[in-house]
Structure 1
Amino acid sequence: MPVTFDTATIAGTALWAIAFYLGCSPLADRTITTFEGWLGAGSPAASLLSIVPFLLVGGLAYYGLTISLGGSWAVSLGVISAIGCGVYELGRRDGQASE
């Protein structure tokens, strides 16, 4: 079965990657720090490369949901997850700021 990269696949993978990136922001920060150690402090490439693991996990989540529920559900759940993780991240940062 060949893998096709249509707009729904790209959108679904990106939405799930954003959800995982926001939902696991301490892990994302450690990933950026690791890449900065390899590439140099303050490197913009470190920030760009730090999203790659989340894109891979997001692609797997999208692919698994597409197989089990269908493509439209995978994108819809990606939107819901991205919004939910964004709200969670805002609350987490607000809680850290008030401590």
Structure 2
Amino acid sequence: MMIEIVPFTFEVSPIAIAGTSLWSLALYLGLSPLSEWVIDQLSRWFNFAERSLYLSQAEFERDRQRREMQNAFYASIFSIVPFFIFGGLCNFGIEATLGQSWAISIGTLACLSCAIYELGRRDGLD
């Protein structure tokens, strides 16, 4: 059915998806202050964009808290997109130079290392 709609096909390797996901998680955890900044900026942008849809201030203020919480949720979901893109670039670079198995192995090591770093960083904040 999709072949009838789209005249071309492309295949994405499951290994590439796994490697990209590992690298994006590693970058998201390792660069957590940056990920929090991205979430804040997306939330601000969503709130600004939604404010422009209302004509009256009273109508805007009526359910503002619910909409801001919903926008914060959407911002946290969409904040992974830039890290997924850079994770794909990291996976592609490692895969092109060292091979697919190394890309998965180094991605796993990076993910575990960044997770341990994040746990230590958050423990040090207390």
Structure 2 gap segments, 5+ residues each: 1-9, 48-67
Per the alignment, residue 44 of structure 2 pairs with 37
Amino acid at match of 1:35: L
What are the superposed Cα offsets for residues 34-87 of structure 1, whole Å, 9 maximum, x if unpaired? 000011333221111100000000000000001000011001100000000000
Amino acid at match of 1:79: T
**How much is the aligned-residue C-alpha RMSD, in angstroms?**
1.1
Separation in 1, partners of 2:88, 2:11: 12
> Could you say what secondary structure the match of 1:90 adopts?
helix
What are the superposed Cα offsets for residues 9-56 of structure 1, whole Å, 9 maximum, x if unpaired? 000000000000000000000000000001133322111110000000
Deviates more, 1:60-69 or 1:4-13: 4-13
1:8 partnered with 2:15: yes
**Equivalent runs, 1:12-91 vs 2, <5 Å:** 12-40=19-47, 41-42=68-69, 43=71, 44-91=73-120
TM-score (norm 1): 0.91
User: How many aligned positions are there?
Assistant: 95
Which has more radius of gyration? 2
Identity %: 44
